[in-house]
Structure 1
């Protein structure tokens, strides 16, 4: 349940019960102070703070109830000590009432803000699902899992991407990251993905697939002819799993190297030569295809830099090679779940960047 529900009309289960009790504790504390201390001491501060705290941790109904309770408690104390109907007594009660009204207003403002943010996140998630549909769970002896993990504090739509295409030459995959955020990044990612799906089913080699994707992105940059368009580019890794070959072919276009997990060991598949990212440089050097053994029981993990650049509270980068070494998992989906949980554990909370994850496991 989202945080917006804490300010909703009916529910706020995401806030711990003992936190929701704090406004009541403040009201009782104010009454104790007023009843057990000399008259010169007052619990007015408790009555003022209680509604403000309620605005942050309870629903609108809870905020109103705490505000009314604070007004009545202060009114009872003022009457007990004979300050009614004096100006001083009425001023004190009025000040608590004003704070209670402000608390209700704050609760509504926070709720409206969270509703807008939740709506933006919902739209963002819908767009991401349309751009990044779930891949098939299996292709022959290969099991496949993919996951997109958005940065929790940012409702923006990212340019991280993945796709899987099964064809006559085997299973082909791409994981990439388009520069930037927002709808422009989604547009560029959609272009890259569309060209990959087309080229992966038609081209004979991974080099040709990469070249076709690069030309498509360059054409779009040229068509736009704007400074923003000229900055379009995407890092990516292309992978091909030829049927029955026991190996995987990789093309790295300036992207974090995939990881090969075998029998608890983890090693990066660093390319013999990095190629330029898609959309960068009209005159490109040769694209190198690396052949990596991929025996039964192995898993290839491809991810974007949201994983490798995740930082802890001291600024230390997340290292999936050491963090995943010796970790057991029953399949690619379980591996991705373990990885996301561990990245969040490393950062101590939300990540600052989106993560696109793809894992392929060979069963034979």
Structure 2
């Protein structure tokens, strides 16, 4: 979920701590040393009257990339080199030499201050991340990895670095009627979206236990959204709507899938033999949840076989709306055609990696995915 990578020791160590820069990637940790070497070479090649300035970049690079100890060391080395170059040139007055060494010292001190500010900002950001992650997990608990012969995996990839709370959701519920799943996307972001997620997820868990029909589960969620919106009113009014897809593996027919789609991207069924994935389109699309009486009902699809070894992928539009440099949308059917996966986790890992490669590492929308695999049939001898 995080868009920033760290390598090396903490600030009490001396090794490099390298940030990943969005759109550029992770710069080489030797960059400050390279800048020092280039600065010395440039200063040796240019006239003495232009001495020193090219070394200023090294301490600032260390402040952005290295630990505090590394930043101090880089500043000290750069200042010492300036002093040596001034003495070696022997063409500057004492005042000019002192001014150049003092300027380098000031830049080094500024680099240490910049690193200190960055470090404290990172500590505050880490605290915010922990709180946001706790909220996210409280609202969307991680589904079980296995229910009967079904294996599950989920991923939530935030589009914005450090933005952990969004409007995408997933849920898995074991009920007397079978195993029921939900993936949805709330219009909007932040705390307002979280409020909608809590209503939808709570209604899903309650309705999934009691409603014998999957379409009735969707209708109950719709009624909960409309009711909550009416009760809040005013400044606390619950805004927005939710696109959602519900899936079910019935208790009496474990080899069957039932789908109800409320304005959401259709699920993908991947055969065990690696054949072309199949989009599970509804007979007719229904309006998203939360749009009032107009959205009640509809969105059903005919039951489809769910043979052993096959994979079901439910996802939000962050997957299909990811674009490459030419502006072309990501097509999961084409990208997954002919590929086979050992389990739901392997499928989602491959998708996250492939989307990152396709887009160059950045997306415009959050991406939530839920994958379920029906265990392949085990031969009697193996059992």
Q: TM-score, normalization: structure 2?
A: 0.86
Aligned to 1:229: 237
Match among 34, 42, 56 for residue 25 of structure 1:
34
Describe how 1:28-47 pairs up with structure 2 within 5 A.
28-34=37-43, 39-42=48-51, 44-47=52-55
Aligned to 1:269: 280
Aligned to 2:381: none
Aligned to 1:348: 360
Match among 89, 100, 105 for residue 92 of structure 1:
100
Residues 247, 294 of structure 1: 8 Å contact kept: yes
Describe how 1:5-154 pairs up with structure 2 within 5 A.
8-10=11-13, 11-14=15-18, 19-34=28-43, 39-42=48-51, 44-82=52-90, 86-154=94-162
Q: Secondary structure at the match of 1:158?
A: coil
Question: Residue 183 in 1 paired to residue 195 in 2?
Answer: no
Q: Secondary structure at the match of 2:171?
A: strand
Quote the offset at 1:308 in angstroms.
1.0
CA deviation map 1:210-269 (0-9, x unaligned): 111111111111122247735321111111111352221111011000011112220111
Quote the offset at 1:346 in angstroms.
1.1
Higher mean Cα deviation, 2-11 or 200-209? 2-11
Aligned to 1:318: 330
Question: Residue 328 in 1 paired to residue 332 in 2?
Answer: no
CA deviation map 1:292-348 (0-9, x unaligned): 222233221100111111111222111101001111101122111111111111111
Aligned to 1:196: 204
Query: Aligned equivalents of 2:133 and 2:72: distance in 1?
Result: 34
Aligned alpha-carbon RMSD (Å): 2.6
Query: Aligned equivalents of 2:331 and 2:214: distance in 1?
Result: 28
Query: Aligned equivalents of 1:285 and 1:155: distance in 2?
Result: 32
Aligned to 2:169: 161
Q: Secondary structure at the match of 1:147?
A: strand
Aligned to 2:251: 243
Aligned to 2:290: 279
Query: Aligned equivalents of 2:226 and 2:361: distance in 1?
Result: 38
Aligned to 2:269: 260
Residues 153, 352 of structure 1: 8 Å contact kept: no
Q: Secondary structure at the match of 2:237?
A: helix
Residues 253, 276 of structure 1: 8 Å contact kept: yes
Higher mean Cα deviation, 155-164 or 113-122? 113-122
- For structure 2, which runs of at least 5 residues remain unmatched after alignment? 21-25, 378-383
Query: Aligned equivalents of 2:183 and 2:232: distance in 1?
Result: 25
- For structure 1, which runs of at least 5 residues remain unmatched after alignment? none
Count of matched residue pairs: 363
Q: Secondary structure at the match of 2:281?
A: coil
Quote the offset at 1:106 in angstroms.
1.8
Quote the offset at 1:98 in angstroms.
1.7
Query: Aligned equivalents of 1:253 and 1:5: distance in 2?
Result: 47
